[in-house]
A and B are shown apart, each in its own frame.
Chain A
């Protein structure tokens, strides 16, 4: 086991605590850079979505994970970013300009949402953000002169310095990856700055933060604005990747998916956003795979265990019928959410840390290290 000796403050806030980090993240980056030349176009497309979802996940982590303000309205911020891009592009604004404009506008709206949120806590905030998202969705559907209503808007490929970047090209993937990496690095820097520390203080105890001189209102609005702005940037990429946007893409369902991203990944570290995004985006191809191949595999297993040809075919058709049931995906989603909340509250990244610690401390690892404290006394109503 490695011991890190910290002799000054600089050591404490270092981005890479030791050389191992540089090597492993360098390797990861190298793999990501050669990925487009090794993977199929379908997987590449999924990887682009992973980048976009992870960017939103990071944004949501700033707000929910580090400032403690839950939001079920991030689909609306994504929509605002996407529609700003589509609208400005129609008038010939170049990509870098509308990319920034979308982020700024979304950030501004995020700050505006943050103001009412100052007085709200917990469940009320969740409900308020849901209402905000509904109102945005309805505006998108009704403000036809700008958003083209329910017919949706087409958005042309990115044109960067005179080069057209098609949405399936490796360049577009690099663009998304660059946005993700910049977001993560920026967020890491933010979190080790006084602003980030104020966020965490507010999350842990608002009263304590206030008595230590943190301007709670200001930092909550800041957190909303930053989170919304990053989501707005992701929205531009999202619109370009889909090349067509319409109001029904940005429903509560999408907001919930974003929350699932950080819930499954883990809400206490930025790793969680990336792991959760991989999980959410890859669940679709995985389910498709199950649907197509699982019946055959199960029938094969049944056949080897002595079920006759007739029996195996029977089983195959039954499994296939089950797999093609309409709501299966929703049910699996539901089960996954519940199981994670119940059994893996720290998410995938928490599981990774546990496994790592198990080997580091072998044979001294104990489960209680990661046990959460239950609080029966505190009523969240009176704070």
Chain B
């Protein structure tokens, strides 16, 4: 039983990381209908920025964290301006390819700059543990869970309650109509990319004590975040996190109870099953095309 709870908690923590990356996918998708295959790599880059600020320049953890988030938000805007904006309005396939290309580029360049070693960031949560009875929970995992809940709530409120959030939803439904209604679509898209890169950075920094930062971490985790986003229904913010947690729990349970090899495949089997049985995901809404 204790094993089960331990596995559950580490699964939830891992799942929250997937959820955070999936949140980035969902944000960009919600606002622009672009699926960003480089989301994982943005996370990796955010982790490296934080490592540079905290590990190499010796800044305070929170200052470094904030610096990395700010830097990555700018970087997200830059990436949107250079890679995505010129091809907005073209078929999705082009945009997917462009973001795959961006991911390749980021991975290689950060490999060149920071090398291929694993890096670790010392955080206030690295050492501590929380004991409940005989249950031992590591602080770093709890910090991920807490941050995910906070971020998810903030973003949900942002999308549903603020003017800017409404503008984002409007431009995702129909860019042209949104533009006619006076929404500055270009700026909106740019802000969405900034937010999504910032969320990715949070994921990267929180993840650093658990899986370390290396140049391929984005690819590995980014691909796992897809099942999370799909499971939650691609356009839903709470859905992304719930999907992420489910995938994380499934993965860690499969790793613990099933034979070797199932751990890596289980998320994808779940994903295929979801796509077959309920393609709109758990929280998505199903819309038929009207001609």
Residue in B100, B116, B264, B287 with the greatest tally of chain A CB atoms within 10 Å: B100
A377 touches B176 (CB 8 A): yes
Q: Are B103 and A334 in contact (CB under 8 A)?
A: yes
- B230 partner residues in chain A, CB cutoff 8 A: 124, 127
A-B residue pairs, 3 tightest by C-beta: A337-B101, A334-B105, A327-B108
Report the Cα distance A331→B107, complex, angstroms: 8
A327 engages B107 (CB within 8 Å): yes
B183 contacts chain A at the CB level, 8 A cutoff? no
One of B88-96, B139-147, B158-166 at the interface: B88-96
Chain B 262-291 interface mask (CB, 8 Å, partner A; 1/0): 001100110110011001000000011111
A2→B265 CA distance, assembly (Å): 57
Q: Which residues of chain B from 162 to 179 have any CB-CB distance to chain A below 8 Å in the complex?
A: 172-177, 179
- The answer to whether A128 and B271 touch (CB under 8 A), given A327-B112, A328-B112, A342-B87, is yes
Asked if B104 is at the interface (CB within 8 A of a chain A CB), the reply is yes
Asked if B97 is an interface residue, CB under 8 A from chain A, the answer is yes
- A-side contacts of B279, CB under 8 Å: 119-120, 124
Indicate whether A244 reaches chain B with its CB closer than 8 angstroms.
no
Q: Is A275 an interface residue (CB 8 A)?
A: no
Known: A141-B261, A382-B288. A119 touches B276 (CB 8 A): yes
Does A151 have its Cβ within 8 Å of any Cβ on chain B?
no
B8 within 8 Å of A (CB atoms): no
Contact with B along A257-272 (1 / 0, CB 8 A): 0010001000000000
With contact pairs A327-B215, A374-B90, A377-B177 given, residues A128 and B275 touching in the complex (Cβ less than 8 Å): yes
Residue A345 is within 8 A (CB to CB) of chain B in the complex: yes
User: Measured between C-beta atoms, what is the minimum distance from A151 to chain B in Å?
Assistant: 15
* Contact A331/B108 with A124-B275, A128-B271, A377-B176 known, Cβ cut-off 8 Å: yes
Residue pair A70, B275 in contact (C-beta under 8 Å): no
The tally of CB-CB contacts under 8 A between chains A and B is 153
Q: A331-B112, A338-B102 are in contact. Are A122 and B89 (CB under 8 A)?
A: no
Contact of A218 with B by CB under 8 A: no
A295 to chain B, nearest CB (A): 17
Mark interface residues in B56-91 (1 if CB within 8 Å of A CB, else 0): 000000000000000000000000000100111110
List chain B positions with a Cβ less than 8 A from chain A: 33, 35, 83, 86-90, 92-98, 100-109, 111-112, 116, 172-177, 179, 215, 223, 226-227, 230, 234-235, 261, 264-265, 268-269, 271-272, 275-276, 279, 287-291
B116's nearest neighbour on chain A, judged by CB, is A326
A376 touches B87 (CB 8 A): no
Q: Would you call A131 and B107 a contact (CB within 8 A)?
A: no
- Interface of chain A: mostly helix, strand, loop or mixed: helix
A-chain residues with CB within 8 Å of residue B83 when the two chains form the complex: 338, 342
Q: Is the CB of B105 within 8 A of A377?
A: no
Tell me which residues across on chain A come within 8 A of B109, comparing CB atoms. 327, 331
**Do residues B105 and A335 form an inter-chain contact, with CB atoms below 8 A?**
yes
Query: Which chain A positions have C-beta within 8 A of B96?
Result: 70, 123, 126
**In the complex, per-residue mask of A76-88: 1 if CB is within 8 Å of any chain B CB, else 0:** 0000000000000
Q: Are B112 and A326 in contact (CB under 8 A)?
A: yes
B236 CB to closest chain A CB (Å) equals 12
Give the complex CA separation of A350 and B276 in angstroms.
37
Question: Taking A124-B230, A135-B269, A377-B174 as contacts, is the C-beta distance between A341 and B111 under 8 angstroms?
Answer: no
Considering only CB atoms, which chain A residue lies closest to B95 in the complex?
A: A341
Q: Is A381 an interface residue (CB 8 A)?
A: yes
Q: Nearest Cβ distance between residue A280 and chain B, in whole angstroms? A: 14
**Chain A CB within 10 Å, residue with most, of B83, B173, B279, B289:** B289
Question: Which residue of B112, B234, B272 contacts A128 across the interface (Cβ within 8 Å)?
Answer: B272
How far apart sit A141 and B264, CA to CA, in the bound complex (Å)? Answer: 12
A383 touches B264 (CB 8 A): no
Residue A288 at the chain B interface, CB threshold 8 Å: no
Contact yes or no, A341 B275, CB < 8 A:
no
With A124-B279, A379-B33 in contact, is A130–B89 under 8 Å at CB?
A: no
Interchain CB contact under 8 A, A120 and B275: yes
Task: Quote the shortest CB–CB distance from B185 to chain A (angstroms).
Answer: 8
For residue B265, which residue of chain A has the nearest CB? Answer: A138
Instruction: Name the B residues within 8 Å of A120 (CB-CB).
Output: 275, 279
Known: A116-B276, A211-B291, A337-B100. 10 other contacts (CB 8 A): A120-B279, A207-B289, A259-B100, A263-B97, A334-B105, A338-B102, A341-B95, A342-B86, A342-B98, A380-B33
Residues of B within 8 Å of A256, CB to CB, are 100
Q: Which residue of A lies closest to B101 (CB)?
A: A337
From B115, which residue of chain A is reached at the shortest CB distance?
Answer: A326
Cα A336 to Cα B102 in complex, Å, equals 10
Q: How many angstroms from the CA of A328 to the CA of B109 in the assembled complex? A: 8
CB pair A383 B101 closer than 8 Å? no
**Pair A119/B275 contact, Cβ less than 8 Å:** yes
Return the CB mask of A121-157 against B: 1 if under 8 Å, else 0.
0111011101110110010011000000000000000
The answer to whether B275 and A330 have CB atoms under 8 Å apart is no
Measured CB to CB, the nearest residue on chain B to A336 is: B101
Decide if A6 is an interface residue (CB 8 Å cutoff).
Answer: no
Is residue A325 contacting chain B, with contact meaning CB distance below 8 A?
Answer: yes
- Contact A376 B101, beta carbon cutoff 8 Å: no
Which residues on the B side are within 8 Å of A342 (C-beta)? 83, 86-87, 98
A128 CA to B291 CA, complexed, in Å = 27
